[in-house]
Amino acid sequence: MEEGCGYIDLGLQISGLIFSIFLLLNEMSMNDLTRKLGELQEKVIQCNQCPRLVTYLQEISSHQPRRYRGEVYWSKPLPSFGDPNARVLIVGLAPAAQGGNRTGRMFTGDRSGEWLFNALYRFGFANQPNSLRKDDGFKLSDCYITATIRCAPPQNKPLPEEIENCRTYFLKELDLLEKVKVIIPLGQIAFMQTLKSLRLKGFDIPSLPFSHGKLYPLSLRAQHSELRTVTLITTYHPSQQNTQTGRLTRAMFHQIFKKVRGKLEDGG
Which residues bind to ligand SF4, rule: CB under 6 A? 44, 47-50, 53, 77, 149-151, 162, 165-166
- Least CB distance to ligand SF4 at residue 54 (A): 6
In this complex, which beta carbon is closest to ligand SF4, that of residue 174 or of residue 256? 174
Of the candidates 30, 85, 53, 226, the residue with the CA atom closest to the CA atom of residue 152: 53
In this complex, which beta carbon is closest to ligand SF4, that of residue 53 or of residue 177? 53
Q: 123 near 115, Cβ under 8 Å? A: no
Count Cβ atoms below 10 Å from residue 132 Cβ, excluding itself.
Answer: 15
Enumerate the H helices of the chain as residue ranges: 2-46, 51-62, 100-103, 111-122, 160-176, 188-200, 240-243, 250-265
- Least CB distance to ligand SF4 at residue 101 (A): 11
- Least CB distance to ligand SF4 at residue 238 (A): 21
In this complex, which beta carbon is closest to ligand SF4, that of residue 53 or of residue 86? 53
In this complex, which beta carbon is closest to ligand SF4, that of residue 94 or of residue 126? 94
| Whole-angstrom distance, CA of residue 156 vs CA of residue 161 | 15
| Whole-angstrom distance, CA of residue 257 vs CA of residue 223 | 33
- Least CB distance to ligand SF4 at residue 160 (A): 12
Written as one letter, the residue type at 200 is L
